[in-house]
Amino acid sequence: MKCPAVTAAVVLVVCHMSRMSMLQLIGELQTGSLTSRRLTETCLDRISKLNPELNAFVFVDADAALRQADEIDARRAAGGPVGQLAGLPVAVKDNICVRGVPTTCGSRMLEHFRPPYSAHVVERLQAEDGVLLGKLNQDEFAMGSSTETSIFGPTRNPWNPERTAGGSSGGAAVAVAAGMVPLALGSDTGGSIRQPAGFCGVTGLKPTYGRVSRYGLVAYASSLDQIGPMAQDVAGCALALQCFGGHDNRDSTSLQQPLQDWSGQLTAGRQSLRIGIAEEYFAEGLDPEIDAAVRTALRVLEDAGATLVPVSLPHSRYAVAAYYLIACSEASSNLARYDGIHYGYRSETYEDLTDLYCESRSQGLGAEVRRRIMLGTYALSAGYYDAYYLKALRVRRRIQQDFETAFQNVDVIAGPVAPTAAFRLGEKLNDPLSMYLSDIYTISTNLAGLPGISVPCGLTSERLPIGLQFQAAPLAEANLLQAAHHYQTLTDWHQQTPPGT
């Protein structure tokens, strides 16, 4: 891309923006070496250049973003206070409400929905002077692992456009990986931040359940959903969590826990780091290249002073089955409101009330969403509730207990993010079980309400990113971020960028 005709210092910053971390960009904004308008214009230029192929953004509000940027620049020039994000461009997944901005969840059902309010996280980002660029593509209603089921079409991986970006927050991962925006927010119900982050070579954080308000997040599975950030590195995710985490009385599940200075704690605890290694995360089905890269990453940490401790998570083998019963049951309940009368798409052709329901939902919802609703409705139905849903809840508790036991002896548990690198577009669309197994290593984090993070740890022989996952005990984000940041100080995988971007 051509650089604007500005000072040499600004040229250097702007031309290399896609390779700069979030904190580096904020530093340039704070010192005045870079204006928010210039950085926002650069992001908009990159979106214009790259998005037609990658399809990460589904809505861009350039005029509103530039107005925000100009207001922040003017306030800084006048000596006024500026928030922690200092005019940094941000974008959010399309299931996070922004007042007056289309929020479709990638579904025909909400194709024309413009919420009259903003999500808590959006309010917090804007209060900290983040410049909102737009909305990011996703699997329909966040139900998927490849960002292929959106009404806007699939998002493509910048490392290889014939490969999936992962899902359901694929648009967010691609936007950060391709340098279109330095910070993006996604949601994670069973791995939907960490898996696409792993596939696209960026850092993705899923906080403890309740650490971040879900107010304004369109619900999929309410006991599992959590909003989190994606950035180039752990330091960026830590700062983002400080900006939008914390209690919100509009969300009854929001925890009344004080925010911590996670950024200031990143370098603590390195010398005494105890990392749990679960044999269940290295079982049959794990690609040999993924296995080798993750084990190499663990040796790097061990050589730097960490202690590797064997742990056991025996009930993790049941995580996928338990997750899809619980998540689909909650989806069946949450999506019942989209009936063609109260909310969402309404069929123009119907014979009676029952037909209106059937036609509106069959036309407005895609195949995967309908599949999960039907599975959940079946699991909750009379005669099957105890055999399926209740049993899944009991398994969930066993999984939680496994983690509680393990975290008595370790600070974090490490393993792969996914069993393979990014697969080809269309490869698993007609094989739901194979698609569901893409999240086999991330699902248990949500079932147990834990924080988890994905960081890049290598490339396959086809030069596709490999992700390393850390999990920590509930509310132990400090341990999680310290371990992941320590790894990133020892390696430069997070600084690798896709070809052509």
Task: Read off the pTM.
Answer: 0.95
Domain with 173 in it: what CATH number?
3.90.1300.10
Q: Which domain holds residue 29?
A: 8-318+396-495
- Measuring CA to CA, which residue among 231, 235, 445 is closest to residue 323? 445
Of the residues 145, 192, 213, 254, only one is catalytic, namely: 192
Q: pLDDT tens digits, residue range 157-203?
A: 999 999 999 999 999 999 999 999 999 999 999 999 999 999 999 99
CA 72 remoteness from chain centre: 27
Tokens standing for residue 335? 């999506």
Classify residue 8 by burial, with Cβ atoms within 10 Å: 0-12, 13-18, 19+. Answer: exposed
Residue 324 domain-assigned?
no
Residue 260 lies in a domain: yes
DSSP 3-state of 93: strand
Q: Is residue 403 part of a domain?
A: yes
Give the pLDDT of residue 6.
Answer: 40
pLDDT at 501 (0 to 100): 80
d(CA 221, CA 198): 23
The whole-number pLDDT of residue 470 equals 98
CB 403 within 8 A of CB 473: yes
Instruction: Tell me whether residue 225 is in a domain.
Output: yes
Annotated catalytic residue 93: yes
DSSP state of 199: H
Strand runs (DSSP E) across 404-464, as ranges?
412-416, 452-459
The closest alpha carbon to 199, from 226, 178, 228, belongs to 178
| Residue 348 counted as domain residue | no
- 363, part of any domain: no
pLDDT tens-place values along the chain, 501 residues long: 333 434 444 444 445 666 899 999 999 999 999 999 999 999 999 999 999 999 999 999 999 999 999 999 999 999 999 999 999 999 999 999 999 999 999 999 999 999 999 999 999 999 999 999 999 999 999 999 999 999 999 999 999 999 999 999 999 999 999 999 999 999 999 999 999 999 999 999 999 999 999 999 999 999 999 999 999 999 999 999 999 999 999 999 999 998 899 999 998 867 789 999 999 999 999 999 999 999 999 999 999 999 999 999 999 999 999 999 999 999 999 999 999 898 899 999 999 999 999 999 999 999 999 999 999 999 999 999 999 999 999 999 999 999 999 999 999 999 999 999 999 999 999 999 899 999 999 999 999 999 999 999 999 999 999 999 999 999 999 999 999 999 999 999 999 999 988
- Tell me which of 107, 168, 169, 332 is the catalytic residue: 168
> Given this model, what pLDDT does residue 268 score?
83
Cα gap 367→119, rounded to integer Å: 28
Residue among 18, 21, 93, 428 flagged as catalytic: 93
Task: Report how many domains make up the chain.
Answer: 1
Cα radius of gyration (the chain): 22
pLDDT at 343 (0 to 100): 83
The DSSP secondary structure of 328-365, one letter per residue, reads HHHHHHHGGG-SSSSSS---S--SSHHHHHHHHHHHHS
| pLDDT, position 484 | 98
> Going by DSSP bridges, is the β-strand pair 465-472/412-416 parallel, antiparallel, or unpaired?
antiparallel
Q: Is residue 349 part of a domain?
A: no
| Closest CA relative to residue 144, chosen from 423, 463, 449, 451 | 423
- What distance separates the 2 farthest-apart alpha carbons in the chain? 72
Query: Is residue 168 annotated as a catalytic residue, yes or no?
Result: yes
Q: What is the pLDDT of residue 17?
A: 66
Is the residue at 12 inside a domain?
A: yes
Q: Is 118 a catalytic residue?
A: no
